[in-house]
């Protein structure tokens, strides 16, 4: 049995986030796909810990303090001496679509499953009700790190925990398609709750359309699927049937950063409250609709939907 059945471990990388304003000035924050999800989970009242590795620098200190202030548990944030976190720059166009520039090759999070503290961390992860991660989480680890992670996920499931996976495909993080496909195949086979994007798996595997993507994920044996469509909306599998849940309409899209990350948080939080998949997807759309009307990955607290 899991030690904390309603607690989520969100695993991945947080980086320094620089946002470039139209006048060329920069503002600094923190961001990363699974970290964004962890923050929104905490704001929704879901117990969540963030699992990553940082340096021993002052900015890493600020990151940990900021997460703790949001209610995110930081007991499994590993610190690596004489290292610095990665950095990325966001630029957005007139329609709110974003472009990312990264400096992350030497980030400590890449060695999360190759550090002296890794065995203790791996044991702790086995006790969570849900371990949440993304395609970026598995991409940055490299082959040996991924293999150690997959072994941990097998033990999580053996103890009754669940694995939730957001595909979040980023081709630049992978050496080639064959390596990426093999890793995603293995990851999907270890997944209980999948949050794939049609564009992610279409680009990765060459699937023709949403039906083909859904069939692939179902064939992998995933019990619960929330397929994010190209048009605003998603398809959930409820009582064995595919149900389309449209997204909330938004008058003005300001910044789509963290739209998917917040969607995942809204969905998982609702499911842990006992809501069914379709209702959970509606709650997820509601949160994502609020997020895309603000700049940056984490919106102000007072902008959170009721």
CATH of the domain at 179: 3.40.1190.20
Lowest-pLDDT choice from 238-242, 276-280, 288-292: 238-242
CB atoms within 10 A of CB 57: 15
Q: Which residues contact 220 (CB under 8 A, 6 or more apart)?
A: 185, 188, 189, 191, 194
Tell me what pLDDT residue 96 has.
67
Lowest mean pLDDT among 85-94, 137-146, 182-191: 85-94
Query: Could you report the per-residue pLDDT of 212-264, keeping only the tens digit for each?
Result: 999 999 999 999 999 999 988 999 988 788 999 999 999 899 888 899 999 99
DSSP 234-265: EEEEETTEEEEEEPPP-S-----TTHHHHHHH
- Taking each helix axis from N to C terminus, what angle separates 142-158 and 118-125, rounded to the nearest 10 degrees? 30
CA atoms within 13 A on the CB side of 245: 24
**Does 1 map to a domain?**
no
pTM here is 0.94
Kindly state the average pLDDT of the residues 178-198. 98
DSSP state of 172: G
Domain range for residue 182?
8-14+32-85+106-303
The pair of structure tokens assigned to 129 is 């009700």
Residue 73 lies in a domain: yes
191 token code pair: 């997944």
Within a domain: residue 91? Answer: no
Instruction: Compute the CA torsion angle 195, 201, 203, 207 (nearest 10 deg).
Output: -140
Asked whether the beta carbons of 286 and 61 are under 8 A apart, the reply is no
Angstrom distance (rounded) from CA 8 to CA 131: 6
Q: Is residue 248 part of a domain?
A: yes
Q: How confident is the model at residue 306 (pLDDT cuts 50, 70, 90)?
A: confident
In a domain? residue 124: yes
Distance (Å, whole) CA 141 – CA 173? 10
Q: What is the number of structural domains in the chain?
A: 1
Residue 95 scores a pLDDT above 80: no
Task: Give kind and range of the element (H or E) at residue 242.
Answer: strand 241-246
Provide the annotated active-site residues: 261
Q: Is position 235 within any domain?
A: yes
């Amino acid at each position: 049995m899991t030690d904390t059945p309603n607690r989520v471990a969100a695993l991945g990388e947080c980086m320094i986030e620089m946002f470039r304003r139209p006048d060329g000035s920069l503002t600094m924050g923190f961001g990363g796909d699974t970290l964004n999800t962890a923050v929104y989970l905490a704001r929704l009242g879901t117990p969540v810990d963030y699992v990553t590795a940082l340096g021993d620098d002052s900015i890493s200190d600020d990151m940990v303090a900021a997460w703790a202030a949001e209610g995110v548990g930081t007991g499994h944030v590993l610190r690596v001496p004489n290292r610095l976190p990665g950095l990325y720059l966001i630029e957005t166009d007139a329609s709110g679509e974003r472009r990312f520039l990264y400096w992350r090759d030497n980030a400590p999070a890449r060695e999360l499953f190759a550090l002296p503290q890794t065995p203790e961390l791996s044991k702790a992860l086995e006790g969570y009700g849900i371990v949440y991660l993304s395609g970026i989480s598995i991409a940055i680890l490299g082959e040996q790190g991924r293999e150690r992670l997959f072994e941990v996920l097998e033990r999580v499931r053996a103890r009754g925990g669940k694995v939730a996976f957001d595909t979040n495909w980023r081709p630049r993080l992978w050496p080639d398609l064959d390596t990426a496909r093999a890793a995603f195949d293995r990851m999907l086979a270890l997944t209980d709750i999948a949050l794939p994007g049609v564009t992610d798996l279409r680009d990765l595997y060459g699937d023709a359309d949403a039906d083909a993507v859904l069939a692939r994920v179902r064939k992998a044996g995933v019990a619960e699927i929330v397929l994010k469509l190209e048009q605003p909306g998603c398809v959930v599998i409820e009582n064995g049937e595919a149900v389309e849940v449209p997204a909330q309409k938004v008058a003005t899209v300001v910044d789509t950063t963290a739209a998917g990350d917040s969607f995942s948080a809204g969905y998982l939080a609702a499911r842990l409250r006992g809501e069914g998949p379709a209702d959970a997807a509606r709650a997820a759309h509601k949160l994502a609709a609020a997020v895309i009307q603000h700049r940056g990955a984490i919106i102000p607290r007072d902008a959170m939907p009721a």
